[in-house]
Amino acid sequence: MQIRNEGEKRTRAAADIVTAVEQDILAGVRLPGERIDESALAETFNVSRTPVREAILELAAMGLVDQRAHRGAFVADVTLEEIFDVYEVLAELEGLCARLATRRMEAVERRALADLHAEMAGLLSPDDRDRYIALDMRFHDMLIAAARNAALKDHLALCLRRIAPVRRTSMELVRDMRLAHAEHGEIIAAISAGDAAAAERIMGEHVSLRAEQAKDLIARWKTRRNAATQSSAGQAAA
């Protein structure tokens, strides 16, 4: 059974690599267009190239990584147009989530949401931004869960994965966390009042890219992507 054990070990290593790279992409540590260095990953995880390739295949199937013939693997690129398209859909879907959650949320879930909101109130200074961003994702996930609609959840997951690399960047652009936090408060109030239409509208506005934010996003996105593409070109040439 030696062979089987080896195989299991390799698969576990591949799963660890998938998780690590996925987290890096979601956190904006690895940027769209950036080359994924297979030998560096093999070294970091102390494994051969086989589980690394297995991991890359899986990440490609998830849509997070592009494989290019003779050039290697790259963090999936997203165009600005695509980002705006996805945000439009996302605003509608998250609005729908809030509407359904208003009707379907259990009391215990409402309390958990209110507790989370209270915790986030203490994280509005720029120093706490990372923690706030993490909890913001949890806030939205709680409403997705409370909507109790598997199809909606799947569509949202698809959208979120598509813009995963910029989600963090877009959160960084929220100049005033107090505004975003106040909107969460309004969503909670609408849910408590049983006002599904208001919950839907406020959530839709909360998720939409605001005009000034969109302009900043374009600027920052171009800078980051150029930096990522240049460093990838350097790595490829090396």
Residues of this chain that interact with Zn ion (CB under 5 A) are 136
Residue with tokens 């936090």: 181
CA–CA separation, 98 and 141 (whole Å):
11
The residue (of 136 and 200) whose beta carbon lies closer to Zn ion is 136
Instruction: Give the nearest distance from C-beta 160 to Zn ion in angstroms.
Output: 13
The residue (of 12 and 131) whose beta carbon lies closer to Zn ion is 131
Helices (H), 32-106: 38-44, 49-61, 80-104
The residue (of 34 and 136) whose beta carbon lies closer to Zn ion is 136
Asked whether the beta carbons of 148 and 86 are under 8 A apart, the reply is: no
Instruction: Give the nearest distance from C-beta 212 to Zn ion in angstroms.
Output: 17
E-assigned strands of the chain? Answer: 35-36, 65-68, 72-75
Instruction: Give the nearest distance from C-beta 195 to Zn ion in angstroms.
Output: 18
The residue nearest Zn ion at its CB is: 136
Structure tokens that stand for 181 in this block: 């936090």
Instruction: Give the nearest distance from C-beta 127 to Zn ion in angstroms.
Output: 19
The residue (of 22 and 136) whose beta carbon lies closer to Zn ion is 136
Nearest to 154 by CA among 202, 204, 214, 93: 93
